[in-house]
Amino acid sequence: MEQFTLKQVAEHSSKENAWLIIHGQVYDVTKYLADHPGGAEVLTEAAGTDASDEFDNAGHSEDAFEVMESYCVGKLQGYEKKKAKLKPVTPIPKTQPSTPIDQGSSKSKLVNLGLFSLAVAAVYYVGRRQGVTIPKWAISTLHHEASERHNFGFVRGVLVGGGMFAALDVVLAQRFAQLIWDKKSFTSYPAHMKISKRVQENTLLQRGLLDPVTYSPLPLKEKALVAPNVYRFTFNLPTTSTVLGLPIGQHVAIKADVGGESVSRSYTPVSNNDDRGILELVVKVYPDGKLTNGYLANLKNGDEVLFRGPKGAMRYHPGLCKKIGMVAGGTGVTPMFQVIRAICEDDRDTTEVILIYANRTDQDILLRKELDTFARRYPKNFSVYYLLDQPPTDWAFGSGYVTRELMEEKLPIPSLDAKVMLCGPPGMVNAAKKALVDLGFEQPGASAKASDQIFLF
């Protein structure tokens, strides 16, 4: 293939002549601008540049990769694949120097003990001058055979000696406490110390096995046909307690060698971090799909597949908005399912979701059992409306295409607290986005952001 320099590609940066670079391949997307599901402005803004990162973050279906091949015009001269970056090692912080001893506090205590000893001596002196005698019961207790004079001397010795030993004990105890409690006096600690409550981390937000740069091999545990040409793949994580580390709404990349060519595709798992020890995908196998038909369809139990991630602009969290409308077609329901499941299974999430899900026949509806279960158990959170091109005679839902009138009827009205998510075939996504903008939703930007009123997976 013909090779181009960065400077040559940069010359093709207009709407009338748009080239871009994706992972070392040069594409002329001028004729594809009007058909791009994300809008022409997305490609126009990236024209003349290396858009590899933006392409990866957006996530694309099998159809997108097949479409791209017809627009490839060459390779980038001198292109080398990015090497995995080493994660920076966070230095362990040095122990902070301990707080210096409070000399003033120690001295004040010794002064108080000295004043106490002087007070005892003063009492003794005054008593002797005024002729005060020790009671007989005290004298007999101290020494039955000693005289009053000697007994009074004994008491004086006890008081003075006790004071000295008390002072010595305080100093020794203080030194001992400083060694144990990082040189802080034991008297500085309260009688009852409050222990802060442990904050429970949200499992769905935890980091885990996935790494955005390095691929991890995971063995296939089970493969099951769930619809015509659609499989559910279940992969084992290293242990039964391992967390995948995939934020809600994001996807993973799979890489494989197919016919001597390295092929990578993005998919959204239907499992999440609560499903410890496994990763589940629902994938449609296309007859001409390089990765699906040439690799995934031929997997056997025990075969290892390379995964990396997470990828994508959406990171759903409770409070993102109050109402979410969803329009999905075919396997485009998988990222929607992740968000729906997270909302329904969180008792504190009050977000309301309505899904319009379009397919050709009722057999093509993916995850219907799970979707109907959520709609039945959590009617305040979730409802679903199915559309079919070829509905059966007893069909209780809609038929035909996703129209502007249907979205106006079913989806939330435009507001700051409302959002619509789209995922599916390019034609459906383009038509739905245009109709939503006409209904009053804000036109999404060139690059998808979680804050967009119309979010394209």
The residues annotated with a catalytic role in the active site are: 251, 267-268, 423
Quote the crossing angle between the two packed helices 333-344 and 368-377, to the nearest 10°: 30
Cα–Cα distances in angstroms (integers) from residue 352 to residues 40, 131, 174, 212, 406, in the given order? 31, 93, 62, 31, 18
Scanning the structure block, which residue is given the tokens 């590899």?
52
How far is it, in rounded angstroms, from Cα 423 to Cα 173?
A: 71
Q: Which DSSP helix (H) or strand (E) runs through 129?
A: helix 103-130
CA atoms 65, 66, 70, 74: torsion sign: positive
> Which DSSP letter does residue 261 get?
E
**302 has which bridge partners?**
none
Number of H helices, E strands in the chain: 11, 16
> Token pair of 49, please?
């540049």
> Token pair of 224, please?
């099951």
> Token pair of 270, please?
């239907």
Asked whether 272 and 192 are in contact (CB, 8 A), the reply is no
Quote the crossing angle between the two packed helices 103-130 and 148-180, to the nearest 10°: 170
How far is it, in rounded angstroms, from Cα 227 to Cα 256?
A: 24
How far is it, in rounded angstroms, from Cα 245 to Cα 53?
A: 20
Is 307 in a helix, a strand, or coil? Answer: strand
How far is it, in rounded angstroms, from Cα 27 to Cα 115?
A: 92
How far is it, in rounded angstroms, from Cα 414 to Cα 323?
A: 10
